[in-house]
Amino acid sequence: MKRMTALSLSILLLSAAAMAGCAGNSGANNQGTGSGEDDPGEKITINLMTRSYAGGGWPPNHPVIDELNKRLNIDLKIEWVPSANYQEKLNVMAASNNFPDVFYMTNTEFVKWQAKNVFMDVKPELGKYPNIVKYIAEESLQHFNPKDKYYGIPFYYQEARDSLAIRKDWLDRLGLKMPETIDEFYEVAKAFALNDPDGNGKQDTVGFSMEINPSGTFGFGGTAAFLTASFGLANKWKLDESGKLIPMQVQSEELKDFIGFMRKAYAEGVLDKDFPILKARDSLNKLEAGKAGIANVNPQQLFTETLPPLTKLDPKAELVQLMPPAGASGQRGTSSLPTGDKIVINAKIDPQKQQRILKMLDYMLSDEGYDLIKHGIEGVHYKKISDTQYEQLEASVKDRQFLLVGWFFKRFDPMFLIYKWMDPQEVATIKSYFDNNEKVKIKNDGFGFVSETATKLGTTIDKKWMDAMVKVIAGQAPMETIDQAIAEWRASGGDAIIEEMNEAYQNAK
């Protein structure tokens, strides 16, 4: 098997009845092989299912659906399932062996069900569909699949989306330069906390904040995700010099350096005293409220969500990108997460319908099709003013023409939320954030490998390990606690996880 992420226990333990239903009726349906020729003159109904979030999905008569129907001679019927209920919906469908024609799958369900003859192998057909080949990364097609099989087409997530941002106006007011090293980062953060950078005469700002990841790792939680690499810590897993996978939880020397840095920052009032109880986005909220000068931001939301409240409070506020600071040996980086989820085609449907679905997906990635599902219909959702100027129309806000891109299928394109009617200078700034992120993203070398012990115990032992790290940072436990926590993590299942992960890694070579 290609690499597979560790499955959550709740998803792994799908009911036996659901799996029996999934496999039991396979002989009663037409086994689609993908070898049928598509007759473009025949109108084909396609049932599509994906998740929905705030605001829900489109009504059946949405103008983008109508346009896709017209251009592809299809009758596209979309079922938008609230994300919180999506797993339950799939379980019900598995029990009755009644899946849609094409649908979204997370990597966990995909791995569990791919041996149940549910998904079409699209690899033999991709030569007919140049846009899929052009705009979908080959490595991601391979993820989670057995050798020489592609049982789905990846759903794109940005591997390194977020970035640190810093208040340049605060730097200028305090006469500080942009920090490049971890020591310079500390001195700037200390000045932001103690030297009244907003000029209100009060000591009411923080140097930097961080949230603790619920999974029990520093991972993607706030500013810490941009500092761990400076001390040589892995993005979850890294290959050592001998070619063996080691987890961040057992990197004793690197952890002592990193935790020692954070402990000092906490003791001196540089690290936000509230960090143990902060929830997702709290550090960004403090930045937007003018109480922090450094935080991680989503570049795509920089001009729509982050800067408006900040500049309303302080019209002179200026945010610029801050690259992860370099550690003592020059190492720096930000955590990244590869794409794992899939868009899958039902293996049991008619081969001609399978080909029409692939044609639809390929069209969505073409210049014409991607323009349609991203920007909508000219004259309805936007107006062209000149070759370089466009105006968003009111129908775009009402119709949310971009939902297929956001919730179903898209190019491997970090700028997928950037629209042609946006300010060119803002677009250039956002692009520079992403371009810079690509230069420093740190790979998780263990991505895609399964450990049964991690599935059963990983969350529990990781959280206990993290609780110990938090106590050390907050000065509630001595530094010796780090080695004790490492030993306990290993004895409670960590050693088994390491062994299983390395076995999976060796088997994948």
- CATH number for 329: 3.40.190.10
Predicted local distance difference test score (pLDDT) of residue 504: 87
- Nearest residue to 214 via CA among 467, 446, 443: 467
Predicted local distance difference test score (pLDDT) of residue 6: 37
Cα–Cα distance measured from residue 464 to residue 445, given in angstroms and rounded to the nearest whole number: 23
Say if CB 383 and CB 65 are below 8 A apart.
Answer: no
Predicted local distance difference test score (pLDDT) of residue 435: 95
Domain boundary among 291, 316, 335: 335
Structure token pair of residue 479: 């530094």
- 233 and 369 fall within a common domain: no
- 173 and 318 fall within a common domain: yes
Task: State yes or no: pLDDT of 22 exceeds 60.
Answer: no
Task: State yes or no: pLDDT of 18 exceeds 70.
Answer: no
Residue 44 structural domain: 9-158+339-419
What single letter denotes the amino acid at residue 493? G
SS3 448: coil
Domain contains 309: yes
Domain contains 98: yes
Cα–Cα distance measured from residue 109 to residue 241, given in angstroms and rounded to the nearest whole number: 34
- 136 and 180 fall within a common domain: no
Conformational region of residue 458, where left means phi above 0, alpha means psi within -120 to 50, and beta covers everything else: alpha
Least confident of 18-27, 88-97, 212-221: 18-27
**DSSP code of residue 50:** E
Residue 49: pLDDT band with limits 50, 70, 90:
very high
- 83 and 182 fall within a common domain: no
Q: How many CB atoms lie under 10 A from the CB of residue 392?
A: 16
Segment 369-375 mean pLDDT: 98
Domain contains 268: yes
What single letter denotes the amino acid at residue 154? P
Say if CB 230 and CB 326 are below 8 A apart.
Answer: yes
**DSSP code of residue 152:** S
Domain boundary among 335, 354, 383: 335
Residue 10: pLDDT band with limits 50, 70, 90:
very low
Cα–Cα distance measured from residue 99 to residue 391, given in angstroms and rounded to the nearest whole number: 40
Domain contains 379: yes
Cα–Cα distance measured from residue 36 to residue 366, given in angstroms and rounded to the nearest whole number: 23
- 284 and 312 fall within a common domain: yes
Q: What is the mean pLDDT of the chain?
A: 89
Q: Sign of the C-alpha dihedral, residues 27, 32, 36, 42? A: positive
- 181 and 310 fall within a common domain: yes
Number of compact structural domains in the chain:
2
What percent of the chain is predicted at pLDDT more than 90? 75
pLDDT tens-digit map of 77-97: 999 999 999 999 999 998 888
Task: State yes or no: pLDDT of 379 exceeds 80.
Answer: yes
- 60 and 138 fall within a common domain: yes
- Cα dihedral 21, 25, 26, 27 in deg (nearest 10): 160
Place of tokens 């898209």: 410
Residue 53: pLDDT band with limits 50, 70, 90:
very high
Predicted local distance difference test score (pLDDT) of residue 323: 96
- Nearest residue to 290 via CA among 312, 272, 270: 312
What single letter denotes the amino acid at residue 28? A
Which tops the pLDDT comparison, 112 or 458?
Answer: 458
Conformational region of residue 442, where left means phi above 0, alpha means psi within -120 to 50, and beta covers everything else: beta
**DSSP code of residue 230:** G
Cα–Cα distance measured from residue 250 to residue 234, given in angstroms and rounded to the nearest whole number: 10
Task: State yes or no: pLDDT of 36 exceeds 80.
Answer: no
pLDDT tens-digit map of 248-279: 999 999 999 999 999 999 999 999 999 888 88
- 265 and 377 fall within a common domain: no
Task: State yes or no: pLDDT of 146 exceeds 90.
Answer: no
- 307 and 345 fall within a common domain: no
Domain contains 424: no
DSSP characters over 349-386: S-HHHHHHHHHHHHHHHSHHHHHHHHH--BTTTEEE-S
Residue 220: pLDDT band with limits 50, 70, 90:
low
Domain contains 448: no
Cα–Cα distance measured from residue 385 to residue 177, given in angstroms and rounded to the nearest whole number: 42
Predicted local distance difference test score (pLDDT) of residue 221: 52
- Nearest residue to 293 via CA among 182, 204, 415, 416: 204
- Nearest residue to 47 via CA among 80, 82, 90, 12: 80
Cα–Cα distance measured from residue 280 to residue 284, given in angstroms and rounded to the nearest whole number: 9
Task: State yes or no: pLDDT of 27 exceeds 50.
Answer: no
Residue 123: pLDDT band with limits 50, 70, 90:
very high
Predicted local distance difference test score (pLDDT) of residue 178: 98
Predicted local distance difference test score (pLDDT) of residue 223: 78
Instruction: For residue 363, give Cα distances in angstroms to 65, 101, 372.
Output: 13, 17, 10
Structure token pair of residue 76: 């596209």
**DSSP code of residue 35:** -
- 140 and 181 fall within a common domain: no
Domain boundary among 300, 317, 335: 335
Predicted local distance difference test score (pLDDT) of residue 97: 85
Give every strand in the sheet of 163-167, ordered side by side: 294-297, 163-167, 319-322
Listed in sequence order, the residues at least 6 apart from 390 whose beta carbon sits closer than 8 Å to its beta carbon are: 382, 383, 384, 420, 421
Q: How many CB atoms lie under 10 A from the CB of residue 249?
A: 26
Conformational region of residue 49, where left means phi above 0, alpha means psi within -120 to 50, and beta covers everything else: beta
Domain contains 1: no
- 122 and 106 fall within a common domain: yes
Listed in sequence order, the residues at least 6 apart from 413 whose beta carbon sits closer than 8 Å to its beta carbon are: 135, 156
Q: How far is CA 111 from the centre of its chain?
A: 18
pLDDT tens-digit map of 429-456: 999 999 999 999 998 898 877 788 998 9
Predicted local distance difference test score (pLDDT) of residue 109: 82
Residue 120: pLDDT band with limits 50, 70, 90:
very high
- Residue 76: strand pairing partners: 46
Domain contains 174: yes
SS (H, E, C) 72-137: HCEEEEEEEEEHHHHHHHHHHHHHHCCCCCEEEECHHHHHHHHHHCCECCCHHHHHHCHHHHHHCC
- Residue 49: strand pairing partners: 79, 103
pLDDT tens-digit map of 409-432: 999 999 999 999 999 999 999 999
- Tell me which range, 129-143, 280-294, 354-368, is most confidently predicted by mean pLDDT: 354-368
pLDDT tens-digit map of 125-136: 999 999 999 999
- 316 and 385 fall within a common domain: no
Structure token pair of residue 188: 């700037």
- Nearest residue to 282 via CA among 295, 266, 268: 295
Task: State yes or no: pLDDT of 206 exceeds 90.
Answer: yes
Place of tokens 């922090």: 292
Place of tokens 């979309």: 78
Q: What is the pTM of this model?
A: 0.83
Say if CB 93 and CB 63 are below 8 A apart.
Answer: no
